[in-house]
Amino acid sequence: MVYSKIPLAQTVVQLCKLKNIKHIVISPGSRNAPLTIGFTNDDYFSCYSIVDERCAAFFALGMAQQTKETVAVVCTSGSALLNYYPAIAEAFYSDIPLVVLSADRPKHLINIGDGQTINQKNVFENHILYAANLKLDLKDESNLPKKDELPIFKNLENKLERILGLQQGIQSFNETEINTALNLAKLKKGPVHINIPFDEPLYGLTETLTVKPKIDLLERIVSKIDESELDDCVDEWFVAKRKLILVGVLEPNSIEQKLLEELADDDGVLVFTETTSNLHHPNFFPSIDKMIAPLSEAEIKTLQPDILVTFGGMIVSKKIKAFLRTHKPKQHWHIDEKRANDTFFCLTKHLEVTPNQFFSEFLSKITHVAKSPYFDSWTLVKKHRRKKHMEYMKEIPFSDFKVFNDLLKAIPNKTILQLGNSSAIRYTQLFKLNSSLEVFCNRGTSGIDGSTSTAIGCAVAANKQTTFITGDLSFFYDSNALWNNYIPNTFRIIVINNQGGGIFRILPGHKNTDNFDHYFETTHQLTAKHLCKMYDFEYSKASNEAELTICLNEFYKSSNSPKLLEVFTPRTENDNILLDYFNYIK
């Protein structure tokens, strides 16, 4: 086997292998050549070459999201590293394990005017679990030709360190830092940054490993709930008549079904689920905005819970946030091993265990609860809303809303649905989804910048039919995502093209002015057709319901290339159709 000649590169690669980090996403460069040589010459690793670092990082995030394992990204020095930042922030807030391996120049070549050189140390400090800044290997100057000699001060420094035997100390320091970073990425589920200085020559090869790094084993500590705190929760639950459970982003199949059944049987409990929760039960309340948006002030007060219990990741619905911030529960418990966001400004308990662990212990202590009409009364509201929803869908013309109704029905069973942010996720939230689908969306930061890349990474890692639904601005913003040699033929993209940022027409603002059109909605006449030709996607389009029906009949049939369906909707009508909906379903 061929290795890089540089001991530090060998150390990084070997420790990644020992930690079972298999997927490596590499962006081209020269300074990272020692790492690229090490990873690509070892059959243990699955390596992917993606030029655009922003796309590469989101692609890796999509892979980690599906495999639930750490994925590494590798880049050269300089601004290349900064392009990882949007995905790093998303991984940080979505609890996804990523390892950033950035090559760097030696200290004495930083801040002297060399190209592709920035201050890389701790560059992600606000959105990273750990930053490991490694030390440069000492250089064997006896093998250097005269022209490659180091500056005098560097020669003296190296000779002194060699005399003191510090190379061994440097190796030990680097191994400790790498182990710490890799362990935290896996244990704490989040991004870490390992900054790795390399000196030239960068392309030297050897067939012999010169280092044997030691592995620090993971010390996984199982969290336990405090018994007295659990008893307090039980006592409070007994007397509360209105208990609202709100579930954010969750991985599919992450909650035991028997626990869901017990929660669903309590007549004092409402379980509000978001599309991204991947939780389904006939007694649960999906489509939160559909439930609460039309409520009068008097009705809202009857919904106000005594106890609010939340778990899962970020909440999409702005309406549920506004409701709970204005009509605060007496208590808010959040269940999460890692963090508790005070989203509604009334957090009273952070239960630092998994939802499964909490509910299995908690529900076993619940022998009886106060009788309550809470569930029955709101079930009647839910039935009314669904009836009015179906009536409205039959009345409206071709529009964003109508398109989502048709698209969500067409997605094949037991497949993955990836959603873009902004309008795409919000429209989807208004529909009752097929419970066999696995739903994902980048809700950590809720940005539009890497949704396509994430969906592609997901499709590659999951090896399962994946559909990605996105808006036009989000798609064009991340169009470099298609510059990717690994996209499976089963991958499907649906672009809702309403010729601009349609969500801005729904938000309060002065519509239909030159200023609004140009700077907010950012109207355009772009289509995805030429991108599909460039990247070998099978392209189809629809501008009315009949065309959409024809396209969807063919869209999920097997093909020799991935497919993209572009649906054109009426820019100036979509917002009114959606806003009128909430009045209609009252």
pLDDT digits (tens, 9 = 90+) for 519-557: 787 888 999 999 999 999 999 999 999 999 999 999 999
Instruction: Copy the structure tokens of residue 192.
Output: 């870490």
pLDDT for res 151: 57
Please determine, for residue 104, whether its predicted confidence score (pLDDT) is greater than 90.
yes
> Does residue 169 or residue 15 have the better pLDDT?
15
Q: How far apart are CA 88 and CA 222, in angstroms?
A: 26
Q: Where are the domains of the chain?
A: 3-206, 227-379, 396-581
Query: What would the DSSP string read from start to end of 162-220?
Result: HHTTHHHHHHHHHHHHHHHHHHHHHHHTSEEEEEEE--S----EESS----PPPPPP--
pLDDT for res 519: 78
Mean pLDDT computed over every residue of the chain: 92
Percent of the chain with pLDDT over 90: 82
3-206 and 396-581, same CATH topology: yes
Residue type at position 469: I
**How confident is the model over 316-344, as a mean pLDDT?**
96
Span 454-481, pLDDT tens digits: 999 999 999 899 999 999 999 999 999 9
Please tell us whether the domain made up of 396-581 is placed in CATH 3.40.50.970: yes
Question: Residue 213 in contact with residue 178, Cβ under 8 Å?
Answer: yes
Q: What is the CATH number of domain 3-206?
A: 3.40.50.970
- For the domain made up of 227-379, give the CATH fold: Rossmann fold (3.40.50)
Instruction: Copy the structure tokens of residue 495.
Output: 């672009």
Span 233-281, pLDDT tens digits: 999 999 999 999 999 999 999 999 899 999 998 999 999 999 999 999 9
Q: In what order do the strands lie in the sheet with 23-26?
A: 46-49, 23-26, 71-75, 98-104, 191-197, 130-133
**How confident is the model over 350-376, as a mean pLDDT?**
91
Cut 0.85: pTM above it: yes
Query: What would the DSSP string read from start to end of 249-309?
Result: ---TT-S-HHHHHHHHT-TTEEEEE-GGG----TTSB--HHHHHTT--HHHHHHH--SEEE
Span 368-413, pLDDT tens digits: 777 899 999 999 999 999 999 999 999 999 999 999 999 999 999 9
Please determine, for residue 145, whether its predicted confidence score (pLDDT) is greater than 80.
no
Span 194-213, pLDDT tens digits: 999 999 999 999 999 999 99
Question: Residue 138 in contact with residue 158, Cβ under 8 Å?
Answer: yes
pLDDT for res 112: 87
Span 112-143, pLDDT tens digits: 888 888 999 999 999 999 999 999 998 754 44
Angle made by CA atoms 419, 425, 427, in degrees to the nearest 5: 130
Q: Give me the residue label for tokens 């460069």.
A: 29
Please determine, for residue 166, whether its predicted confidence score (pLDDT) is greater than 80.
no
Q: Is 556 left (phi over 0), alpha (psi -120 to 50) or beta?
A: alpha
Rg (CA), the chain: 27
